[in-house]
Structure 1
């Protein structure tokens, strides 16, 4: 980006604009501050420096290609063998600490505007490290926020079919399946509320705990708080019974959750900070700690949170895409790879609130 700004400086007719662009291109600290506050797109850069006379050919050559966007699959092939579902947040936020223009997520906004039956380019990418344990007697703890609940929906769907198949064979030994879910408001962002209640009633989920961080008139609660509240139970499932721990969501949340796990180890296991950290590394090495992390910039997340009331709620789509591969692993956690090479039709199904 800095090299692009330096290139733009050469086509600025106003001296002050040229000097500002050169400074931004050469002084990294100044550039990082400007980028963090403004978070500008190309149009906003042109508006900030109106003396720029940019040839269209320069833009075509210098602008990078759109990056691929991955979405975790929120359905089990045992339930919908001819479809793939994805739970997608429609990204919308303001820049400049909430006072700037509205920015819409490129891929999520486009998907939200697709008509039923429209062609969507996508492929499926397997993710072998994020899968249910082969040993069904081991406890499973799932932690997700917002659309990070997506892969866990496929988990409880898969467990439901597994139980129906194995109970018929006389096998009734199952590890516990528990979910910790975080969202903002119960009436707007509680994804799959009805389905979660049904799964608990049927005994598919042993329990689920929900943290609301923006419930009116109440203190903010995060999934980390719920984990600490149930620390003895978490310690027993993961460290005593050698269960599996899954976390899905943005980078900051995942980091905080892993830090909470270390605290639980120190409190319940009487370990030092260093020993707790070493144990977490061991969990990853033995493939009992599984992470599906979104690469979301902290600054943008903060803007969404702090200025959510200024924004109009947008729907969170559950998209169903016809199945595109025969190599899908039933216990694996693939991702939908939008803007890939295979085109498939998309059908919109259940609508949810923006998270």
Structure 2
């Protein structure tokens, strides 16, 4: 494992100074587990159950009625899927642009690894009671006072979270090998700040990796209960419109490759199911690449509606021009937007509607042009007025990225903005969100001489909800 070797190199390169400037541990670990052999297995919190973040509904356990792969089975593109949840028995109402939260579970193999490493396998399924050793301590609100270790490690704790220095220092106290303990202390020290950023933060090292790299590090489970944060729901944009079909919710997602032979927690879990790996492991390659199939089990996914705090939804007034910008899976909510526009046009055939321009980017038209048929169908029905697609991995293609496509249409974009256009952007906050904003400013700077401060104008559009971004990390 490359990461382990890099930390061994860190060990060999440690400075001669062995006394480091360490942070002060202020958290007193005085939790104590007592196991209750023969008691009923119940999960109880010290207070109300933890709230679902941004919840706009109750939790609903949805079955997956359909799934399809949206990209080719090729190493040249990401694995992207669309799944359809059956929500006819829920009380959900939603609009295009809304999101759902999916409650993930930690992988069983990772939970078992923690239990085995800490020699807790035999106690994993015993009911426990969590006690406090003194009045200064507190039980984290996301940790049940009664449950089992397996359930807490599966449902409550984020085993893949980035590790803070204080946590590294805390577990170093339970590391028997001197050289391993010294590295953990160094990584948590002032002197080791660069190494901490390089080897922990940048490589997204988590507690699973630490226990692999430092076999003698075996803290009491109470330390993990005290320091590991809550396993949070993952948000996903809804693809379809409630007006199209109120009984289903569709989402699309790319399976994240996180390195260290690790996939995204929720996306990997969903992929395993829709490929039926949990049912039949003897699929052929052709089976794995099926584009559409019914699910063969009553597998249920806990989901809930999230509040649309950003206001990423269409207004009732569809007379103003609309500009949609979404590379990759960022195009997902715009499918629902276009369904709502089409519904409005059918309902009011003589109404006045503004133009709709969509900018989409992917790698290759043969591999990952997701929702191509749907978008071209909207184009043929005049629901969509223009479709601007950029391909980043096609040779001799001048327009490689969606930012290039927007700049290419700069004069038109500038005029649409002057005409009162509303702009919606969906994509990665680290790249697309800021880059599109910069490109729009450049479009106005180049093609509009009326405004004095184009950057200020875009900022004002944000305040007026004419420029709305739905971004994820």
TM-score (norm 2): 0.57
Match for residue 8 of structure 1 among 171, 174, 178: 171
Indicate if the aligned counterparts of 2:171 and 2:223 stay in contact, CA closer than 8 A: no
1:159 corresponds to 2:349: no
- Write 1 or 2 for the structure with the bigger share of helix: 1
Counterpart CA distance in 2 for 1:227 and 1:67 is 35
In structure 2, relative to structure 1, the CA distance for the partners of 1:5 and 1:152 (3 Å cut) is same
Query: What pairs up with 1:262-341 in 2 under 5 angstroms?
Result: 262-270=441-449, 275-295=453-473
Counterpart CA distance in 2 for 1:90 and 1:216 is 26
Query: What pairs up with 1:65-144 in 2 under 5 angstroms?
Result: 65-94=230-259, 101-114=260-273, 116=295, 117-127=298-308, 129-144=311-326
Structure 2: stretches of 5+ with no match in the other structure:
1-163, 275-294
Indicate if the aligned counterparts of 2:239 and 2:252 stay in contact, CA closer than 8 A: yes
Match for residue 354 of structure 2 among 162, 169, 175: 175
Counterpart CA distance in 2 for 1:219 and 1:41 is 41
Q: CA deviation at 1:276?
A: 1.4
TM-score (norm 1): 0.76
Indicate if the aligned counterparts of 1:76 and 1:158 stay in contact, CA closer than 8 A: yes
In structure 2, relative to structure 1, the CA distance for the partners of 1:45 and 1:216 (3 Å cut) is farther
Counterpart CA distance in 2 for 1:69 and 1:135 is 31
Give the match for residue 317 of structure 1: none
1:25 corresponds to 2:165: no
Structure 1: stretches of 5+ with no match in the other structure:
95-100, 296-355
- Give 1 or 2 for the bigger CA radius of gyration: 2
Give the match for residue 88 of structure 2: none
Which deviates the most, 113-122 or 197-206?
113-122
1:235 corresponds to 2:400: no
Counterpart CA distance in 2 for 1:271 and 1:107 is 48
Counterpart CA distance in 2 for 1:225 and 1:219 is 8
Give the match for residue 145 of structure 1: 327
Aligned length: 284
In structure 2, relative to structure 1, the CA distance for the partners of 1:80 and 1:91 (3 Å cut) is same
Indicate if the aligned counterparts of 1:141 and 1:244 stay in contact, CA closer than 8 A: yes
Over the residues paired in the alignment, what is the CA RMSD in angstroms? 1.9
Counterpart CA distance in 2 for 1:242 and 1:126 is 27
Q: CA deviation at 1:185?
A: 2.0
Give the match for residue 63 of structure 1: 228
Give the match for residue 42 of structure 1: 207
Indicate if the aligned counterparts of 1:133 and 1:244 stay in contact, CA closer than 8 A: no
Give the match for residue 339 of structure 1: none
Q: CA deviation at 1:57?
A: 3.8
1:144-192 per-residue CA deviation (whole Å, 9 max, x = no partner) reads 011111110101111111111100xx32x21001110111222221110
Counterpart CA distance in 2 for 1:110 and 1:271 is 52
Q: CA deviation at 1:35?
A: 2.4
Counterpart CA distance in 2 for 1:190 and 1:248 is 16
Counterpart CA distance in 2 for 1:220 and 1:41 is 39
Higher relative contact order (CA 8 A, sep 6+): 1
Counterpart CA distance in 2 for 1:146 and 1:200 is 19
In structure 2, relative to structure 1, the CA distance for the partners of 1:217 and 1:8 (3 Å cut) is farther
